[in-house]
Amino acid sequence: MPDLSPYEFYLTAASFLILGSYHCLWLYRIYYKPLTTSVGITNHLRGHWVESIMEERRDILAVQTLRNLTMAASFLASTGILICLGLLSVAASPEKMAEITPGLTEVVREHRVMWLFKLMVLIIDFFFIFFSFCLAIRYLNHVNFMINVPFNLAHKITPEYITKILNRGMMHYTMGMRGYYFSVLLFLWLFGPIWMLVGTIVITIVLYHLDQQA
């Protein structure tokens, strides 16, 4: 574990505490007061969408909608893994970063271990983004098949069950997007903990407005 100065430790801890506390409250509202959040509302509406698709046999609409979601998740997963591989290359040879941003040369030289630790946290975040979107694609592909199965052929494939699978996939999609938001804070962390704290406050305010009832 790198040696953190008290100044950096407290500012970094404050950033993680703000972000963690907000998301604990967010998850609590999703599970216990779902209709007060945008995620809960969209989960509820997706249930009605699945039911109408299966009852009215609008197979083409279902496939097109799920295809669009899958394409978006594929693009975001590909972007995440490409950024991750680029960061791994930088971590293997920090002098490349100095060539791109000469202002970080002194920071990298004086706090090499700490800087590499921050970079590894950022790499882990992009791995999380990649796997979140991959899982979203997996669930969306399952829904693609199940939503077109007639009721009389598979009694266990109900709208409620398909909605559950679809919402699970979309939750992974949301987690991937949260990972992208978090990566902004980790990039700011490379320049100093005060930048990360300011970014955390700004992003938390933005997320609060995005997560409210539409």
- For 151, the 3-state DSSP assignment is coil
Contact predicate 172/133, CB 8 Å? yes
Return d(Cα 180, Cα 185) in angstroms, integer: 9
**Secondary structure (3-state) at 192:** coil
- Which residue shows structure tokens 């975040």? 125
Vertex 185, ends 169 and 173: CA angle to 5°?
5
Tokens for 159? 């709208």
Report the SS3 class of residue 153: coil
pTM of the model: 0.86
Q: What is the DSSP letter of 33?
A: S
**pLDDT tens track of the chain, all 214 residues?**
455 567 778 898 999 999 999 999 999 998 898 888 899 999 999 989 988 888 878 878 888 889 999 999 999 999 999 999 888 887 776 555 555 555 555 555 556 678 788 889 999 999 999 999 999 999 999 998 888 877 666 567 788 888 999 999 999 999 999 999 999 999 999 888 899 999 999 999 999 998 886 5
Assess contact for 174 and 41: CB atoms under 8 A: no
- For 144, residues 6+ apart whose C-beta sits below 8 A from its C-beta are 62, 63, 66, 67, 70
Q: How many helices (H) and strands (E) does the chain have?
A: 8, 0
Spatial separation of the C-alpha atoms in residues 114 and 105, rounded to whole Å? 14
pLDDT of residue 63: 85
Sequence-distant (≥ 6) Cβ neighbours of residue 63 within 8 angstroms: 144, 148
- What pLDDT is recorded for position 114? 80
Beta bridge partners of 212: 37
As given in the structure block, the two tokens for residue 69 are 């979601």
User: Any long-range contacts for 196-199 (C-beta under 8 Å, 24+ apart)?
Assistant: 196/11, 196/12, 196/15, 197/11, 197/14, 197/15, 199/15
Say what the pLDDT of residue 97 is: 56
